[in-house]
A and B are shown apart, each in its own frame.
Chain A
Amino acid sequence: RKEVEQDPGPFNVPEGATVAFNCTYSNSASQSFFWYRQDCRKEPKLLMSVYSSGNEDGRFTAQLNRASQYISLLIRDSKLSDSATYLCVVNRNYGNFNKFYFGSGTKLNVKP
């Protein structure tokens, strides 16, 4: 079983729509969580960290459910520029070092 699993999509949505992605992780010892955005032929860029209480950054809301071992990303009022692949990243601590696990990404296409 993969450490981090995501629905690959693509999610095709019209401008202005609300869209949500989920990501599940396999190890309950995972400690910190992130969403990265990756544009075509570009590097991953940090979109937002995910905090236990949930957090919001403009149109983006991230939630963490430790009991069910999933995190979510909600995008409200989708823009054409939101079209990208969204990578779920989980960080686990092994005592004296951390290790990051990446999902395969969820592709979002926002259409006019």
Chain B
Amino acid sequence: EAGVVQSPRYKIIEKKQPVAFWCNPISGHNTLYWYLQNLGQGPELLIRYENEEAVDDSQLPKDRFSAERLKGVDSTLKIQPAELGDSAVYLCASRRDSSRYLLSNQPQHFGDGTRLSIL
């Protein structure tokens, strides 16, 4: 089974520039997550999708961050404009989650992440 694929692996941009990250989840996983991880911290949820619907975006800074998941498969996360404090690792994860699995022990599977550096 192919894992979660993210690109790019690394991105270096100047502040105020736009940047976009792409994620392809594991086939058949209807739930997709975008996380931000700072050094020495655990991942922090930015947005969660159930198929193509964003069902939890309460932690997404909507003034500069946006995301989409067209057709309920691939997803993109965009920052415009980027600020110095956005430097972090952006992780995508997916999970098989439906009403039948709500109480199951289904874990999340993570992609390699995109390491963003803002100059």
Q: Which residues of A contact B (CB under 8 A)?
A: 4, 8, 31-32, 34, 41-46, 49, 51, 87, 89, 93, 96-100, 102-105
With the chains together, A8 CA to B102 CA distance in Å? 31
With the chains together, A89 CA to B35 CA distance in Å? 14
Chain A residue contacts of B105, Cβ below 8 A: 32, 49, 51
Asked whether, in the complex, the Cβ of B43 is within 8 Å of the Cβ of A102, the reply is yes
Q: How many residues of B contact A (CB 8 A)?
A: 26
Interface residue stretch chosen among B13-21, B62-70, B71-79, B110-118: B110-118
**Does B40 lie at the interface of the complex (its beta carbon under 8 Å from any beta carbon of A)?**
yes
Mask: chain B, 92-119; 1 = CB below 8 Å from A; 0 = not: 0000010100111101111111010000
- Chain B nearest CB, measured from A99 CB (Å): 7
Asked whether, in the complex, the Cβ of A99 is within 8 Å of the Cβ of B56, the reply is yes
